[in-house]
Each structure stands twice: as structure tokens, then as C-alpha cells.
Amino acid sequence: DLQKQEERGELLQPLIFVLLVLCSILLYFKVSLMDPGFVKPEEEVKEGEDKGQGVVIPLIPGDIKLRRCGYCLVKQPMRAKHCQLCQHCVRRYDHHCPWLENCVGERNHPLFIVYLSVQLVVLLWGGHVAWSGLYFEQSREWLQHNIFLLVSFLLIFIFTIVVLLLLVSHLYLISCNTTTWEFMSHHRISYLRHSELENPFDQGIILNLWRFFC
């Protein structure tokens, strides 16, 4: 479809598609190379300093104190966790992404969601482009001629499912004001295990989304 539009001189959609691909690549490098929110040793950690606490801190038992990390020896803010792959404590730690080779934390988590969204649009559009180039015929010559296009469509389909599931799961956790680490390890985290509420940071979907993105 894009090739036919280019031949007719209709360059708007091909240019938008190329710009979206370039944007997804730039976002990938931006998210993978930026500081996800490393806790620096020289920082003074004060109660209520880290993002995501706000007015809900009184709901957490007062006997839970900020602890010193046993690996990098910094005083951890609440919701921070040490990543043994990055060798740093990360504020509002979500997870270490092997595709990015970087942690997803307080600083790059919103941009990570933007990256997934752009990537999903690119994959859906790329799948449509690949499908538009397929003309099915029951012949060996047709299969040999279109084998790479078929493999490309299959890979696009698989990655689309993966990115869609990642995006939906992250948006759900963001709407609850929780992280992947807190969701998976709720029973091991002191400030959640001893809290009166299952999720003391939840302030309602609208406010959770507003505080995360804005």
C-alpha cells in the first residue's frame, strides 16, 4: 500500500510511517540510556521526598523506617529497590527491562509507556503493510518468492501481542499506583506487608494517572 501511494505521489502516509519508525528508535535509545532514577549516595533522603507518597504516608505503620541498602549502602527512599544488574538503587523501581538493558523507574517510566505506545502503532501499521503485500496462491514458486514477507508478518504479529500485553499490564498497574515489583513481591515488602491497606498508595484511577503522567 505504501509503495502504491509513493508511486502515485501521495507521500503523506509513507512519510508519517517512516517518522514513526524513527521516533520509536529514538525513544528506545532515550529510555535505555537515561537515568531511571538512581539514588545517589550524596542525596539527603527526607520523609515524603519520593514521588508517589503524598497524603497516603500516614496509612503506613510508623515503625517502618527507611533502611540502608546492603549492596550500595545508600539510604533507600520508600518504593526504591536495588537492581543487581545495574548495581544501583532505583527510585520507584518497576523492573529491569532486558530489551532496554536498563531499569524502568521513576524518571523513565512515563517515557517507557510512550515508547510502548509508539511501538504498538508502528507494529500494527507494519502488519497492515505486510498483509497488503500478500497475494495468496497455491504454488511453490509463490511460497519461495514470498517466504521473507510471510516470516516478517509472523514476527510482527508475535511482537504486537507482546507489546500490547506489556502496555495493557503497565497501564493497569499505573491506574492502581503500584509497580511491577510491588505487585509481584507484595508479601516481601515491609511497607506493604505491614500496611492496613492492600495498596496504601492508591488514590483513585484519575489521580493516579494524573500524578504519573503529569
Q: Integer distance in angstroms from the first to the last C-alpha of the chain? A: 38
Cα 94 from chain centroid? 9
Nine-digit cell at 43? 542525596
Q: What are phi and psi of 89, to 5 degrees?
A: -85, 135
16/199 Cα distance (integer angstroms): 42
Question: Which of 97, 103, 176, 214 does the annotation list as catalytic?
Answer: 97
Reply yes or no on whether 214 is catalytic.
Answer: no
The DSSP secondary-structure symbol of 39 reads P
Q: Three-state SS for 38?
A: strand
Helix (H) or strand (E) holding 195: none
In angstroms, what CA-CA distances link 14 with 35, 39, 125?
A: 34, 43, 11
Strand partners, 82: 89
71/94 Cα distance (integer angstroms): 18
Q: Which residues are catalytic?
A: 97
